[in-house]
Amino acid sequence: MHCNICGGTEFEAYRGRPDERCTQCGSKARHRIALEVYEKLLFPLAGKGAKLLHLAPEKFLYPLLKERFGSGYVTADASPERYPHAEPVKLFLPQGFSIFAAGEFDAIIHNHVLEHIPGHYKDHLAGFVNWLKPGGLMILSVPGPYMERQTEEGGEHLSSDSERLEKFLQEDHLKCFGADFVETLRNWPGGSLLPDGISDDQRAELSVRPGKAPFFVWQRDAE
- Which residues are at the interface with Zn ion (CB under 5 A)? 3, 5-6, 8, 22, 24-25, 27
- Write down the least CB distance from residue 23 to Zn ion, Å: 8
- Write down the least CB distance from residue 216 to Zn ion, Å: 24
* Cα separation, 211 vs 223, whole angstroms: 33
8 or 119, CB closer to Zn ion? Answer: 8
SS3 85: coil
- Write down the least CB distance from residue 7 to Zn ion, Å: 7
Buried b (16+ CB within 10 A) or exposed e, 112-136: bbbbbbbbebeebbebbbebbbeeb
- Write down the least CB distance from residue 8 to Zn ion, Å: 4
Kindly give the pairing relationship between strand 191-194 and strand 216-220. antiparallel
5 or 50, CB closer to Zn ion? Answer: 5
28 or 220, CB closer to Zn ion? Answer: 28
- Write down the least CB distance from residue 25 to Zn ion, Å: 3
In angstroms, how far is CA 95 from the centroid of its own chain?
20
Sign of CA dihedral 182, 186, 191, 195: positive
12 or 171, CB closer to Zn ion? Answer: 12
Buried b (16+ CB within 10 A) or exposed e, 141-156: bbbbbbeeeebebebe
- Write down the least CB distance from residue 64 to Zn ion, Å: 12
Q: CA-CA distances (angstroms) from residue 56 to 7, 87, 146, 180, 201? A: 24, 11, 22, 24, 28
DSSP 153: -
6 or 99, CB closer to Zn ion? Answer: 6
5 or 55, CB closer to Zn ion? Answer: 5
* Cα separation, 14 vs 147, whole angstroms: 22
